[in-house]
Amino acid sequence: MNQIAAPISFQDFVRLGSHQSYGQANALAVLFFRRFGPLGTHARIRNARLIHTLAGIDLTGMRALDVGCGHGYTLFWLAEHFPSMRLEGIDTDAGQIAGCQRASQARGFAHLRFRPGTPYDLPGQATYDLLIAIDVLEHLPDDRAALRAFATALKPGGYLAVHVPLRHQVQQRIFPAFRGHTVSDHVRDEYLPEEIVVRVEEAGLEIQRFGYGFGYWGELSFELNNLFWRNRWLRNLSALATLPLALALGYWDACQHQVFGNSMVLLARRPVDDSGPQPIPAQL
């Protein structure tokens, strides 16, 4: 197999993040992570949506970098399904990087490695076939500079896959407790569709696909999974109680074509030559 056949299976969706079992302190937590993955559904939904946007691309032998990889959900999935790829993850969180590296070594993934780094530390020459940035740009004071660095680090014909949240003022919430919900470490009010498209194009990349994530069912999955988001213990208890339903709703949402949603995912390409980017099959 050299291409992603979207959608990924429900089993794969549930297992996204299960590699974190290697960092758990007690046997019960290890067992839970290995069987059910992490307690949250939010990261699963956005990573599955990004994986789906790569469908139809020949990934054979690609060198890929996940910028701001966090726990590396997408990288571990790619490492398992595409052993010919060379995969890297960078993040400013040293603890997460160390945990991911331990998990990669424990899984025997010689083609997957992690290191500390920032979006501004990329090679100043064409190096990668694929760059991934999942909910990263809204954290960066100079997102335009980061996108230019992404474009420079891509080989001609290389892809950039980006997931970003929709501006929170226009997000559609379900439960009253989530109206006005914001994320404190976002340095801007997220993005409107035309804003993220213009920024990517300004960096010299050409949009191949654009779509939405976290439609109604994905948002419902997120809210059920975080009902008491202001209280850590109540949130964890409610997340455990609602996990089966939240997983089913999240998977359904990640597999659907969304006409609107609370996040956006796009695939862009560095032009190959003056004739422009080569088409790839299907749309989100």
DSSP of 200-269, one letter per residue?
HHHTT-EEEEEEEE--HHHHHHHHHHTTTTTSHHHHHHHHHHHHHHHHHHHHHHHHSPPSS-SEEEEEEE
Q: Running DSSP on this structure, what letter comes out for residue 45? A: H
pLDDT of 104 above 80: yes
Q: Is residue 111 part of a domain?
A: yes
Bigger pLDDT: 265 vs 236: 265
pLDDT of residue 180: 76
What is the distance between the alpha carbons of residues 23 and 33, in angstroms, rounded to a whole number?
A: 10
pLDDT tens track for 68-83? 999 999 999 999 999 9
Q: Is residue 279 part of a domain?
A: no
Q: Is residue 22 part of a domain?
A: yes
Q: Is residue 2 part of a domain?
A: no
What is the distance between the alpha carbons of residues 127 and 124, in angstroms, rounded to a whole number?
A: 8
Q: Is residue 278 part of a domain?
A: no
Q: Is residue 119 part of a domain?
A: yes
Bigger pLDDT: 184 vs 242: 242
pLDDT tens track for 158-198? 999 999 999 999 999 999 988 877 888 899 999 999 999 99
Phi, psi of 150 (to 5 degrees): -60, -50
pLDDT of residue 69: 97
Conformational region of residue 135, where left means phi above 0, alpha means psi within -120 to 50, and beta covers everything else: left
Q: Is residue 214 part of a domain?
A: yes
What is the distance between the alpha carbons of residues 17 and 43, in angstroms, rounded to a whole number?
A: 8
pTM of the model: 0.92
Q: Is residue 5 part of a domain?
A: no
pLDDT of residue 281: 47
Q: What CATH number did the domain enclosing 44 receive?
A: 3.40.50.150
| Pairing of the two strands 128-134 and 154-165 | parallel
**Could you tell me the residue range of the domain that residue 117 belongs to?**
10-269
Number of domains forming the structure of the chain: 1
